[in-house]
Homo-oligomer: A and B are copies of this chain.
Amino acid sequence: MVQKIKNRVDKILNGVSTADVPARIFQVFIITLIFLNVFAVILETVEGLLSRYAGAFKVFDAFSVLVFTVEYLLRLWTCTTDKRFRGSLKGRFRFAATPLALVDLMAILPFYLPVFLPLDLRMIRSLRLFRLLRILKMGRYSESLRMLGNVLREEKEALLVTVFGVSILLVVASSLMYFIENTSQPKAFSSIPAALWWGVATVTTVGYGDMYPITPLGRFLGAIIAILGIGAIAIPAGIVTTGFTKEIQKRHGKKSVCPHCGKDINESPEESSIAHKNP
């Protein structure tokens, strides 16, 4: 009987079939609650709003933590239905150590921490922001975010090269600019780290306008860096494009196959050609 309830609760918590109405309702409810939580954290920082609606914010936070705590405990209880987490104690510990379970724990911990530990006001204020981590709970529900993660993981090497190349460009450009502009703008270009702030703003084409070269030589170098910065956008754009296209094709189960023999058209033809030539 208890086992039956446990199985049912587990299906509602981890439901994937859209036919299961309670699981569907639970999912929508949790996702909505996560979004409202993020919204609440954002609004709390607006002057006047927190002091005026302090009570409402407190009640909503307590309610959210209650729901998330119950969810976390239910997950801890039902996780043993999964083969990977068999064993009433050992399995549960192994489940609690999974990234998604840790995220669930982090979503409720900031609420309980001040109860156990003596914290000053500033630390409590910092803890408030930690509630934003609840947004990471979305990871459990969004298949799309996982897909984005796959692309970034697959193209990791190429992206690292780009980041490395851009870093070298940044360091060299900013050092030169520091050397050129330091005498005419000693305050703005006071050091290479300060010049790096200009470099990032220029290479990413953000261009806040708080720092910019004013000497002819500095402007000439700045123009070259700005033009090279286009590459800093163009190259990762190309890499991600290729990766995304591959990932979408993979998900749709499409491969460039030969309509005759069904082999991948991009694979090495050695074996198949032998098979064709020796009938």
Contacts and interface: CB of A to CB of B under 8 A. Distances in A.
Interface of A: 38, 41-43, 45-47, 126, 129, 132, 135, 138, 142, 144-145, 147-148, 157-158, 160-166, 168, 171-172, 175-176, 178-179, 190-193, 196-197, 200-202, 204-210, 212, 216, 219, 222-223, 226-227, 229-245, 248, 253-270, 272-273, 276
B240 A242 contact: no
A-B pairs, top 3 by smallest CB distance, nearest first, are A238-B241, A144-B161, A206-B207
Given A191-B46, A259-B258, A223 B210 contact: no
6 contacts: A45-B178, A135-B171, A145-B165, A200-B227, A257-B266, A259-B276
A193 B215 CA distance: 12
Nearest to A204: B226
A179 B269 contact: no
A223 B273 CA distance: 53
A135 B230 CA distance: 22
A204 B205 contact: yes
Contacts of A235: 148, 240, 244
Contacts of A268: 253, 257
Given A244-B235, A260-B276, A42 B192 contact: yes
A99 to B, nearest CB: 16
Given A145-B164, A204-B205, A209-B210, A262 B269 contact: yes
B179 A164 contact: no
Nearest to A38: B171
Contacts of A229: 204, 206
A230 B210 contact: no
Contact of A165 (B38, B148, B257): B148
A111 B227 CA distance: 33
A161 to B, nearest CB: 4
A106 to B, nearest CB: 13
A130 to B, nearest CB: 10
Given A207-B208, A208-B207, A254-B266, A260 B273 contact: yes
Contact of A179 (B43, B129, B262): B129
Nearest to A236: B234
Contacts of A161: 142, 144-145, 147-148
Residue among A163, A171, A259, A273 with the most chain B CB within 10 A? A259
A193 B42 contact: yes
Nearest to A178: B45
Given A191-B46, A216-B193, A260-B273, A175 B132 contact: yes
